[in-house]
Amino acid sequence: MKLRNIRQRSLNLDLYNFIIKRLTVLATLLLLVSCATEETQSVATFTELVMQDEFDSDGAPNSAIWDYEIGNGDNGWGNNELQYYTDRTENVSVQNGVLLITAKEESFEGSSYTSTRLLTKGLFEQKYGRFEARIRLPYGQGIWPAFWLLGANGEVWPQRGEIDIMEYRGQEPTKVLGTVHGPGYSAGEAITKSYTLLNDRFDTGFHIFGIEWTPEYINFYVDDVLYNQITPADVTGEWVFDHPFYIIMNVAVGGSFVGSPNNETTFPQTMLVDYVRVYKNNALN
Amino acid sequence: MKNVKFIYLKITLLLGCVFIVTSSCEREISDDVEFVTAPKNAEIFIDGFSGGLDYFPFAGSKLNAFSVDAEVKYKGEASMRLDVPNFGDPEGAYAGAIFPDAGGRDLTDYDALTFWAMASQAATINEIGFGNDFGENKYLVSKQNMRISTYWTKYIIPIPDPDKLKLEKGLFWYAEGPENGDGYSFWIDDLKFEKLGTIAQPQPAIANGLDLVQQSFIGTTILLDGLTQTFNLSTGINETVIAAPSYFKFSSSDVDVVRISELGIISPVGIGSAKITASLGGVKAKGSLMLEVVGNFDFAPIPTRDPSDVISIFSDAYTNVPVDFYNGFWEPFQTTQSADFVIKGDNILNYTNFNFVGNQFSNPTVDATATPNFHVDIFIPGAIDPGVNLLITLKDFGDDAADGGGDDEIQQIFFVSSDFVGDAWNSFDIPITLANKDRIGQIIYENINFSPLSNFYLDNVYFYKE
């Protein structure tokens, strides 16, 4: 039952998006699920767009939505990462309808690499809803791009909660991971699942990475595919996903999750973001 | 296994005839024409040969190295078994063959040759790939030094540019010699072309990705080498294959100075500098070759001694004795590279990035008792640095006729900068003072006393009597 309901929800969203090329698929799904919804259920819908950045204006990212974290963080942002984050045009810019976050190999402020980490902290924060971005990823050993959420409730990590909508190791160009971190299930013990493309890779074309988030679950999507659902029963500790979160997009270099770049890693490496869109959970927001 | 000679010359001749016939009339193609396309059959060997497939071993290889094995297989009913002979096996020195389809196939839909393989022992296969058809080998691809283990592993050999393979005859080929003298067997199964969709991020290269600068002369012919294509695989590994020149599009920055053919053959035609660059499938290749063409080549003086008075190591004026190598690449300290060239039929040895290098002729060694003089012509391009100190050593291998063994004897000949004139041939005639000169096996050239000599040409290296 659950899975059918999930299909129903994603279907509504897709209809909203008017993605014509999927209409045939949708029609088929519609037939399959049309008799399945029970009237007693409260069906979450994610149809109302509340934040979107289509990256249509060349130049710096829209400062009404995006802020920066500059520097090399504490102990490489807690992960022994090697890059120094800047807000320079070389590392971040909007061009031709796409946001570019570029990791470069260069000596800068004592680091060997530079890149950018954008965040919506204090600018856009939301509890529940659908968060999605259409991204073409970079590649190569030691490249670590991510599209993720951090809890904005003033708690320390991991009590504040972290939802990694998409994390990826440049040396595994066909695989992404969706993860939640909270108290008792953080870092190496985080609740995670990977999704692997068959006969395709994440660095050769755009893919949509999204979550649909309600009090009962967080669903993880790549394109139209729901590949994981995490519920309060799945986490091995307190469920800390009932407060607003903000968005982070970054390309890290090196660190414990990916290991360092090697002599085959080519630089610069750029993550291209076509859009970021957030919908509210109609039943709750 | 680099010098593979082909048998079945008949095939080449036949193909040659076909090409002549088909290319003899050039007319406009009507818009209504529908090209006949070759079959897109991707399979080479699954449980047996695919239709149209042939097996032609290389000359000198163990002709029966290939068999179909129903016992050892990755899956299905049978695999290809390839038996590499021991060193000295009278049946052949190595295993090697091509597996062509004479009708040709359209492989443009695929991005890689894939197969499963295992071996009776861990080994390194010298060369394996496709595009070898005993014809032009126009789209030859070779993966060199492929490691193979004792368990089944899937291998992926990317196609440098599938658009080129509209009619490919050479579906698979390999060449492998003994491992440390020992033969062994390896098996290949599920051999086919595939569209993996995960072959990405092409990084083509020429000149091994280096930006080389080289002096050259009008009338020379130079083959551009170090042509490779690299793709990132789904495993994150960068896989590099050697790609034939025809996969590339070459260009010269000044065609009045240097031209390059689609086969990668470079011809300097005028004085000046020109840079050769390339692309593959629309991607700019890493590396370049800058040629500084200084004019017509100044040939070394043509030797006039009677051939019966000469034992020649390297000369176009005489018949050379068997030579093991002109550059042995003695690891790990040697930096010297070879950039040998031919001008109007005259072969010239060219040593670049020089520190030391040796010519060896040990099978057999040379008995110079009756020809007790040494001749060499040396050309150093550019002005002579005052720090040049060149040492030439003649080495007699002694009673064991082998390098080392405690019985070797050497003669050292020292040259300083004033012995040379720059940009000209310098001829030297030196009496051999070795007590025994009946088993000479090496001539070694080396920089000493921090000599900065990095580039020179050699010609007419021989022993003679007055």
> pLDDT tens digits for B70-99?
999 999 999 999 999 999 999 999 999 999
Q: Rounded CA gap, A45 and A77, in Å?
A: 35
Q: In A142-161, which positions are buried (b, 16+ CB within 10 angstroms) versus exposed (e)?
A: bbbbbbbbbbbeeeeebebb
For residue A264, the chain B residues in CB contact (below 8 A) are 238
For residue B232, the chain A residues in CB contact (below 8 A) are 139-140, 173, 203
What residues of A are labeled active site? 162, 167
For residue A139, the chain B residues in CB contact (below 8 A) are 200-201, 232, 236
Give the pLDDT score at B332. Answer: 80
- Token pair 């091995």 in the structure block, residue: A236
Give the pLDDT score at A41. Answer: 55
pLDDT mean over B332-346 = 86
Distance from CA of B306 to the nearest CA of A (A): 56
Q: How confident is the model at residue B34 (pLDDT cuts 50, 70, 90)?
A: low
Residue range B407-419, pLDDT digits in tens: 999 999 999 999 9
For residue B236, the chain A residues in CB contact (below 8 A) are 139, 141, 169-173
pTM over 0.80: no
Q: Which of B197, B203, B236 sits opposite A200 (nearest CB)?
A: B197
pLDDT mean over A96-114 = 97
pLDDT mean over B353-372 = 94
pLDDT mean over A247-268 = 96
Give the pLDDT score at B330. Answer: 85
Residue to substitute from A139, A143, A174, A270, interface B, most B β-carbons within 10 A: A174
- Return the higher-pLDDT residue of B36 and B359: B359
Give the pLDDT score at B298. Answer: 85
Q: Rounded CA gap, A284 and B249, in Å?
A: 60
Whether B203 contacts chain A with CB within 8 A = yes
- Return the higher-pLDDT residue of B40 and B344: B40
Is A139 close to B198, i.e. CB distance below 8 A?
no
Give the pLDDT score at B195. Answer: 97
Hey, what are A260's tokens?
């360092």
Question: Can you state the angle between helices A23-33 and A2-17, rounded to 10 degrees?
Answer: 150
Mean pLDDT, chain B, rounded, equals 91
For residue B114, the chain A residues in CB contact (below 8 A) are none
Q: How confident is the model at residue A22 (pLDDT cuts 50, 70, 90)?
A: very low
Q: Are B73 and B79 in contact (CB under 8 A)?
A: yes
Distance from CA of A268 to the nearest CA of B (A): 13
Give the pLDDT score at A33. Answer: 42
Q: Is the pLDDT of residue B427 over 70?
A: yes
Contacts 24+ apart (CB under 8 A), B257-263: B257/B291, B257/B293, B258/B216, B258/B291, B258/B293, B260/B224
Give the pLDDT score at B32. Answer: 62
Q: Is the pLDDT of residue B175 over 50?
A: yes
DSSP B159: -
Is B232 close to A174, i.e. CB distance below 8 A?
no
Q: Rounded CA gap, B235 and B228, in Å?
A: 20
Give the pLDDT score at B35. Answer: 63
Cα→Cα distances B260→B220, B252, B338, B430, Å: 12, 7, 21, 41
Q: Rounded CA gap, B323 and B401, in Å?
A: 15
Whether B198 contacts chain A with CB within 8 A = yes
Q: How many of the other CB atoms lie within 10 Å of CB of B287?
A: 21
Distance from CA of A196 to the nearest CA of B (A): 10
Residue range A132-148, pLDDT digits in tens: 999 999 999 999 999 99
Residue of A nearest to B195 (CA): A199
Nearest to B433 by CA among B405, B409, B404: B409
Question: Which residues of B219-296 form beta strands (DSSP E)?
Answer: 220-223, 228-232, 238-243, 248-252, 258-260, 265-268, 272-280, 283-284, 288-296
Q: Which of A173, A198, A199 sits opposite B232 (nearest CB)?
A: A173
Residue of B nearest to A143 (CA): B236
pLDDT mean over B287-314 = 94
Is B201 close to A139, i.e. CB distance below 8 A?
yes
Give the pLDDT score at B16. Answer: 41
Hey, what are A250's tokens?
């970054």
CA atoms within 13 A on the CB side of B268: 28
Q: Rounded CA gap, B144 and A250, in Å?
A: 39
Q: How confident is the model at residue A24 (pLDDT cuts 50, 70, 90)?
A: very low
B366's enclosing H/E stretch is none
Q: Are B155 and B192 in contact (CB under 8 A)?
A: no
Q: Tell me whether 0.85 is exceeded by the ipTM.
A: no
Q: How confident is the model at residue B344 (pLDDT cuts 50, 70, 90)?
A: confident
pLDDT mean over B278-300 = 94
Is A173 close to B197, i.e. CB distance below 8 A?
no
Q: How confident is the model at residue B31 (pLDDT cuts 50, 70, 90)?
A: low
Q: Rounded CA gap, A270 and A104, in Å?
A: 9
Q: Is the pLDDT of residue A62 over 70?
A: yes
Residue range A142-190, pLDDT digits in tens: 999 999 999 998 999 999 999 999 999 999 999 999 999 999 999 999 9
Radius of gyration of chain A (CA): 19
Nearest to B208 by CA among B225, B191, B221: B225
For residue A171, the chain B residues in CB contact (below 8 A) are 236
Three-class secondary structure of residue A175 per DSSP: strand
Q: How confident is the model at residue A225 (pLDDT cuts 50, 70, 90)?
A: very high
DSSP B33-83: --PPPPP---EEESSSBPTTB--EEPBTB-TT-EEEESSS-SSSS-EEEEE
Hey, what are A187's tokens?
């870092």
Residue range B444-464, pLDDT digits in tens: 999 999 999 999 999 999 999
Give the pLDDT score at A40. Answer: 52
Is B203 close to A266, i.e. CB distance below 8 A?
yes
Give B74's contacts (C-beta < 8 A, 6+ positions apart).
B116, B118, B152, B187, B189, B190
Residue range B183-239, pLDDT digits in tens: 999 999 999 999 999 999 999 999 999 999 988 889 888 889 899 999 999 999 999
